[in-house]
Structure 1
Amino acid sequence: MILVRTLLAAAALAAGFSSAPALAEKPRDADKAFEATQQGRSMPLPQLERRVMPFMGGADYLGPELNGSTTRMKFMRNGRVIWVDVDGQGRIVRRSRDK
């Protein structure tokens, strides 16, 4: 019984080590955004949100999504979803129609 547990643990450990390099190769959007913020190339999310909110005319803010080099913010007004893409400097690059 102990031998079986030891073999299972060794197999699980080996599987974890073999998949680790594949996971480490490609940085996630969140990691890229964090790095850009740390290097001063992008504003922190709360600051981006404060920049966009005044342009949304009372729409409800539902939250952000990282979308490559932009942050996509989701709003809702009168039952319609509005997507706003913002670059790292807080400029609105794209906005879906809400009419």
Structure 2
Amino acid sequence: MKMFGVLCLGAFLAAAAPVHAAPQDRRSDQEAARAGRLQGKLLPLRTIEARVVPQMERQGARYLGFDFDSGTGIYTLKFLRNGNVIWIDVDGRTGQVMSRSGG
């Protein structure tokens, strides 16, 4: 029975995970994020994480990582709590939380 639960959780996480961009697209996003930081247009990821991660950890969520969309300048921070994935969209220019979904 315990194995069934683990398999269900794995299937859920696989289904809930966003489709990842091709490696060249990810590289472009990383380069755009770096350029934005150097130009002072984007906050460093560490600054954004320092604002959001502790708050989510206090709510019992574990930080999984992030995605960055160079077209919008939005960082999506991903968390896991009680088997549910939570996505937090943060404006990379201001550090303001824009939306939260899941969990």
TM-score bucket (shorter structure): 0.5 to 0.7
Shift >6 Å, 4+ stretches: none
Query: What stretches of structure 1 of length at least 5 have no aligned partner?
Result: 1-22
Pairwise CA distance, 1:42: 1.1
Contact 2:68 2:74 in 1 (8 A): yes
Whether 1:83 aligns to 2:87 is yes
Pairwise CA distance, 1:31: 1.0
- Once residues 97 and 76 of structure 1 are traced to their aligned partners in structure 2, the CA distance between those partners, rounded to angstroms, is 10
Query: TM-score w.r.t. structure 1 length?
Result: 0.66
Residue identity matched to 1:79? G
- Once residues 31 and 96 of structure 1 are traced to their aligned partners in structure 2, the CA distance between those partners, rounded to angstroms, is 27
SS in 1 for 2:98: strand
| Number of aligned residues | 73
1:44-69: CA deviations, max 9, x gaps? 11111011124322310000111231
Q: Who is 1:14 aligned against? A: none
Pairwise CA distance, 1:40: 1.0
Query: How much identity, in percent, do the aligned residues show?
Result: 42
Query: What stretches of structure 2 of length at least 5 have no aligned partner?
Result: 1-23
Query: TM-score w.r.t. structure 2 length?
Result: 0.64
Whether 1:94 aligns to 2:99 is yes
Output the aligned Cα RMSD: 1.7
